[in-house]
Amino acid sequence: MRRMAASGLPLRSTVEGISWPAFPDPAGEAMLAMIWQLERSERFTPARLRSLQMVQVRALLRHAAIHVPFYAELWGGMGAGRLGFDPGVDALTPKRFAALPLVTRAMLEGAGERAFSTTLPPSHGTVHAGLTAGTTGSPLHFRATGLTQFMWRAFTLRDHLWHRRDLSGKLAAIRRMQARRAQEPNWGLATAGLCNTGPAVGLNVDHEIVEQAAWLVEQDPHSLITHPANLYALAGWFIGHGMKLPNLRDIRTVSDRVTPEQRAACRVAFGLPLVDSYSTRELGYLALQCPGREHYHVQEEGVLVELLDEKDRPVPQGATGRVVVTSLHNFAMPFVRYDTGDYATAGPPCDCGRGLAVLARIDGRARNLMSMPDGSRRWPGCELIDLDGVPGVRGFQLVQVAIDRLELHVVAARPLGPADDAKLEAAVRASLGRGFDLTVLSVEHLLHTADGRFEPFVNRVGG
Ligand SMILES: [Zn+2]
């Protein structure tokens, strides 16, 4: 654990009278054993990583074909069936894997209980139920295990170690949460068994930016975690008021797509790089940002990620494809070639020495793409729309309500007149062109997804 030592934070020993070398508690020991493996596997070659994944996926297929009714039907059972091979007997090759049918979210929603395993090896731990929801459609009920939650924590710790976070500092989180405010003695489960971290404080992201800024100044944190759009708004406030957070050492974002403008604003406002990660509730961590770079490494010890084009073929380097994920360890609700609805761009190998696949960027979700009359989809590029010419605009959101009709929802500090509407429309058209009707609506609140996320573009036309 050189890097843990490098962070200047001693491991916590739980054996009376022994402080060095430390004897952590059993949960801490298990975490250290996993981190020890991850620090080695991240340097494996792509070919070695893929072959280890094939061994693990084969075990998952064997389980799913027997114990998960949805997959038993989809694949035609355990024998050769529709699979074309028997995962109980035959090795899994990349070719056999690529021939497995894709699974959509709608298929899993439709499967209901049949998507859950009827039995689970006890060593996988307690089964947890969860819910994930999008802008449209019904929520997906999913299940996770103690083991998948352990892997979630291991990747969280890997993220701390990659980015050399000083865990002894104070962590401030501005996120969507149940409570208005929160206060914890430590940074949470990923580090709980290992070391004594600094305290953590939380503020619900629905507070006004000015309230958030005042809270941050008062808390004076060392580490900040929030959503990218919120960070962007905070950066604007701190730049505008010529204020700094003198002790802040690192900034993390979660949940939403990060834009180059948000990264730049973070640097200007706080003198720090924005460090992002890519996760979903049902799949856990998919990718973490590479230290010192702006691209992401797939967490290949937890997920097999494919980027596929419209004909379900892997996209070449530099191209954008649909993110299709196989979750390696979830035996309670297997996700095998699960089409997430997200898009990402394949990056070239990284020069940092890690063999983990590279995502040049996370492009976002299909529901945030604009539907075009010819059936195609495009990125609306909301971050490029400049509404600064209209004073008092606090926030906006574009909502596509028909193939040729958009609404611009605007939150403004004052009533907007026809001249303002004309300026707003001109700004949107400067970015998006004239091929649609646009209505400007003054609103009190912008729309959020059922699970509370803000998205600058909402598509209500196609799923
Ligand atoms: Zn790298």
> How far, in Å, CA of 324 to CA of 316, rounded?
15
What is the CA(55)–ligand 1 centre distance, in A? 25
What is the CA(352)–ligand 1 centre distance, in A? 4
What is the CA(145)–ligand 1 centre distance, in A? 29
Residue 371 has pLDDT above 90, yes or no: no
> Which sign does the torsion angle of CA 227, 230, 236, 241 carry?
negative
Residue 410 has pLDDT above 70, yes or no: yes
What is the CA(363)–ligand 1 centre distance, in A? 19
Tokens encoding 442: 């003054």
Assess contact for 303 and 154: CB atoms under 8 A. Answer: no
> Could you give the domains of the chain?
1-368 (3.40.50.12780), 370-459 (3.30.300.30)
What is the CA(354)–ligand 1 centre distance, in A? 6
What is the CA(411)–ligand 1 centre distance, in A? 40
195 against 193, higher pLDDT: 195
What is the CA(344)–ligand 1 centre distance, in A? 17
What is the CA(289)–ligand 1 centre distance, in A? 8
What is the CA(34)–ligand 1 centre distance, in A? 20
Find which of 187-191, 328-332, 374-378, 455-459 is predicted with most confidence, using mean pLDDT: 328-332
Q: How distant is the alpha carbon of residue 29 from its chain centre?
A: 27
- pLDDT score recorded for residue 386: 78
What is the CA(37)–ligand 1 centre distance, in A? 18
What is the CA(150)–ligand 1 centre distance, in A? 24
What is the CA(93)–ligand 1 centre distance, in A? 27
What is the CA(291)–ligand 1 centre distance, in A? 7
- pLDDT score recorded for residue 5: 47
What is the CA(43)–ligand 1 centre distance, in A? 10
Least confident stretch, 38-52, 303-317, 427-441: 427-441
Task: Please classify residue 255 by burial: count the beta carbons closer than 10 Å to its beta carbon, then call 0-12 exposed, 13-18 middle and 19+ buried.
Answer: buried
**Residue whose pair of structure tokens reads 């604007």 in the numeric block:** 236
What is the CA(44)–ligand 1 centre distance, in A? 13
Segment 230-262, tens digit of pLDDT: 898 899 999 999 999 999 999 999 877 888 888
What is the CA(158)–ligand 1 centre distance, in A? 13
Residue 193's pLDDT band, with cuts at 50, 70 and 90, is confident
**Residue whose pair of structure tokens reads 């049918």 in the numeric block:** 101
Quick one: average pLDDT of 420-441?
88
- pLDDT score recorded for residue 345: 93
> How far, in Å, CA of 271 to CA of 238, rounded?
11
Assess contact for 400 and 378: CB atoms under 8 A. Answer: no
What is the CA(357)–ligand 1 centre distance, in A? 9
Those residues whose C-beta lies under 8 Å from the C-beta of residue 59, and which sit 6 or more positions away, are none
Least confident stretch, 88-97, 117-126, 381-390: 381-390
Those residues whose C-beta lies under 8 Å from the C-beta of residue 98, and which sit 6 or more positions away, are none
Least confident stretch, 27-31, 157-161, 385-389: 385-389
Q: Which of 436, 447, 452, 459 is nearest to 396 (CA)?
A: 447
What is the CA(261)–ligand 1 centre distance, in A? 22
Q: Which of 112, 109, 141 is nearest to 127 (CA)?
A: 141
What is the CA(305)–ligand 1 centre distance, in A? 17
Entry field: residues in the chain: 463
What is the CA(297)–ligand 1 centre distance, in A? 7
What is the CA(299)–ligand 1 centre distance, in A? 12
What is the CA(369)–ligand 1 centre distance, in A? 29
Least confident stretch, 218-227, 290-299, 435-444: 435-444
Cα angle 325-329-330, degrees, rounded to a multiple of 5: 80
What is the CA(368)–ligand 1 centre distance, in A? 28
Segment 68-102, tens digit of pLDDT: 999 999 998 766 677 888 888 899 999 999 999 99
What is the CA(350)–ligand 1 centre distance, in A? 5
What is the CA(300)–ligand 1 centre distance, in A? 13
**209-216 long-range Cβ contacts below 8 angstroms, 24+ apart:** 209/233, 209/234, 209/236, 209/237, 210/237, 212/174, 213/237, 213/238, 213/241, 213/243, 216/172, 216/174, 216/245
